[in-house]
Each structure stands twice: as C-alpha cells, then as structure tokens.
Structure 1
C-alpha cells in the first residue's frame, strides 16, 4: 500500500449559523505584509463547489494518547481526498517511507513549511499557540472498512503507542461547502471550507452517545503557496472573514472539540 505526504497550512474560525461567507474576490497579499519576500498572490476569481458530505471515523487509544501527542488518525469517506489521513506535528521527523506527494513534498532533510494555524492542535512543543509551521499529513488509500488501520500509518506512530492498540473514538459527519480561490492564470491559491459538523462519541457501558454540533470555517493554502507570502495571503483572507462575523477558533482540532477534550 502506498502512502503520500504533504504539509497542511490552515487557519480555523468559529462562526454561527447565520454567518454568510464573504466575497473573497480581489483578496491579495502585499510585499510589505510579506516582508518583501516571495511572490504576490491575488485572487482573481472564486469557484464555489456544491456541498459534499464527509464521514470521518477517528481512531485513538481509550485515553486519547494520540490526541495528547497532537496526532490525529482518521478514515474519511466523501470528498476529493477520501482515504486514511494521519496528521503529525510539523516538528516530527519525516519518514523515508513516504512517497512523493501531490502537495508539498516533505523529506527527512527538508524544512517544514512555514505558516500559521490559530488552532493549538498545530502548535509544536515550545511554540505559542497560533505560531506554527503547519502540520504534516500522510495519506493512505481508503481500502475496505474491515481492513483496519493501514500498517504503514501505525508504523509512523509506533513510538507513541508502544504496545497500545487503537479503536474508533468519535465519528464526525461534516457537510462541507468549499470555495476555491484562484489567481489570474486559474491556479489555486487557497480554499475556504464552510463546515457544519456533527460529532458522535459512542457511549460506554450502555450509556447514550454524546452528540455535539458546530459550524466552522477553514482557510487552507494550496500546495506550493507558503512562506511569508502565504502567511500574508491568509492574513488578507482573515480580515474579510472576521468582518463577516468569524472569530479565530479556540478549538485544538475537530477531534478535540468532538470529544469534548478541549482542556486535554
């Protein structure tokens, strides 16, 4: 089974049910905001996709050992990137077993991409929340549900797990409406995902499952858009999102919020 690896650079925002995604035409970074480094990115047009339904089953130990290490492991169906996803802190050493990615390729001697994520889930040890270099994301094919977690992904977290096993801990059902931000040549610069999420945590010992619901926006840079100019583009997008009623997310991740483990 082959795996691929890329860097995810995103910012998350909390929004209420009445919020409307703002017009993002003309959003651009500026050389002064980007420290005079890197290309200038400007949104020439946007494309909004039809809503899609995503179902993600997150796996962890019973006491959420992976979550405590800022690692998430899920099997997701629906959308363009369905499959197994393992998200790792950017500071974790890259494995030589990953194949070339269609996104931003990482190798054992490549520096992690710079970026910012308001979510503490992206923060690495010793860094303040909201100051990160993105997260490494490893993908594996979907396979059938009864095949279990791919061995290649479990090998990546063997040090954290030791002899512990993982099992489903929460199911997230997401209705996502994505807006792609394109430059004048039609190349993708970023994507804004408008997500309505329902999290279901199985009850223990016959208890009823816990259900939580919320809405959030995620602004994520496209592969190849990074560094100071990428940060400046996210800053420009953020200004419009905040004006539309969004607030920087206080959640570590969808997983932590779904589990009710924000203080973990």
Structure 2
C-alpha cells in the first residue's frame, strides 16, 4: 500500500459531486452515496483487497456491465474527524432517516445533509455545504431541504427546533481500492468512533468499516462489487452493521 496525496483525494472527491444552485448562488455540492457498513472488533485487520472484483456482465440478471477489479490499494494517513450532529429534541430527522452534521477534519470537512433513499435499496443523497465560522448557524440551503420535518412539533419551528444532539470523534484510515487505470472503485474507511450524547453526556465507543462505491461506480455491477467485497470483509471478522448510521448508534439507549 502507498500513501495517497492530498491533491489526489481532492480530485477524487470533486468528481463524485455536482454543484448546487440555491437562489442563484452556487452553495455546495450533492452526490448519491452508496455504501455498506460493518461492525468489527478492535483486533480485526482490514484484509488484502487486491483482486476483489467482478467480471463484465456480473450485474443483476446477467446484464452487460464493465469488469471491475481492484489492482492496488492506496492507504491514506489516519485522519481525525470531529462532527456535531443536529436534530430536534424528539429526533425527527433521525426518525425520517435524515442526518445533519457539521464536520471538521479530513478532505470533506463541511456541513453534510444525508437524505433517505429515493427508491428501495438505493443510495442516499448527500448534500455538502462549505464551512463558515465556528459558531455559524445551520445553512439556509440545508434547512430548506428539511423544512417539512421541522414545521411541526412543540419545540419550535424551523431552525429554532434544531440543536446539537451528538458529538462524534472519529479516527479514520481510508483504504482506496483502485482499478488498473487508477480509478477509485471503492473506499473502505476503518473508523474508530467515540460518541458523546449531548443530552446527558453518555459516551459510547465502537469500531466500524464503511465500504462506499467510488465516482461513476453504481448500478448492478456496483452492487455485485460490494457483494464480492463483503465476502472478503466478513472473512476478516466484519459483520453487517446492526445500525443504520453512527448517529443512530450514538443516540441509542
């Protein structure tokens, strides 16, 4: 494995996102996130993933698709990520499978709004907005996306209903699975997580792996690639996650 440069990471991130126009102003980007999450024990090690792949036509129903095979793995230096998750006191966003966070650290620092899949089994739409001052409010462009969820309830309307509910500290080592031409097929993130629930200060720690398809990798062949990768990860001790998100696990009883 080799270390990956910051410029390479930035190019990879930009190709998977499209700009957003909010009231005539370009305010951020959005992308479809297709990932699978796994619970792992502290002693587990990410296995050798070179050679993981699927042949052409490996998609659902035997339809035509391009061959995808991992030729090499590029390892990022470990990064420290800090995120503050915002929700209503009754967790209306979480209940609707929506997450809203402000993250610092790593190559994708910023505000992130994740929306539920638009079709069953589909990926989640992830909206990014750049960081401002440390005490900045939730950006209006993101509030508009969740206005309907915030319009009812006894704890205020709109932005006044939102408050920090979870603080997340993550130590992440990203493994970039590249094909023979250097295109990223999958990113496998090895995360050590410490979550602090704001309401009562309860702390929970865990470790997980996330496998997210790279830019331009989707459809039946993307699913087939994740299936093949899952077999390799499970053999190394990974288990499909029992929770939909870090937020759900961090807030859970």
TM-score bracket, normalised by the shorter chain, equals 0.7 to 0.9
1:1-264 pair list within 5 angstroms: 2-31=27-56, 33-34=58-59, 35-91=62-118, 127=120, 132-162=121-151, 163-164=157-158, 165-204=161-200, 209-260=201-252
Q: How far does the alpha carbon of each residue in 1:180-239 deviate from its partner, in whole angstroms, 9 at most, with x for none?
A: 0001111111100000000001245xxxx1000000000000011000000011011111
Name structure 1 gaps, 5 residues minimum: 92-123
Write the distance in 1 (CA, Å) between the matches of 2:167 and 2:96: 20
Q: 1:32 Cα shift? A: 5.3
Q: Provide the residue aligned with 1:112 in structure 2.
A: none
Task: Report the structure, 1 or 2, having the larger helix content.
Answer: 2
Task: Report the structure, 1 or 2, having the larger strand content.
Answer: 2
Name structure 2 gaps, 5 residues minimum: 1-25, 152-156
Write the distance in 1 (CA, Å) between the matches of 2:244 and 2:182: 33
Write the distance in 1 (CA, Å) between the matches of 2:74 and 2:178: 8
The answer to whether the Cα contact below 8 Å between 1:13 and 1:216 also exists between their aligned partners in 2 is yes
Write the distance in 1 (CA, Å) between the matches of 2:131 and 2:72: 33
Greater relative CO (CA pairs within 8 A, separation 6+): 1
The answer to whether the Cα contact below 8 Å between 2:172 and 2:191 also exists between their aligned partners in 1 is yes
- TM-score by length of structure 2 reads 0.84
| Count of matched residue positions in the alignment of Structure 1 and Structure 2 | 219
The answer to whether the Cα contact below 8 Å between 1:37 and 1:228 also exists between their aligned partners in 2 is no
Q: 1:260 Cα shift? A: 1.1
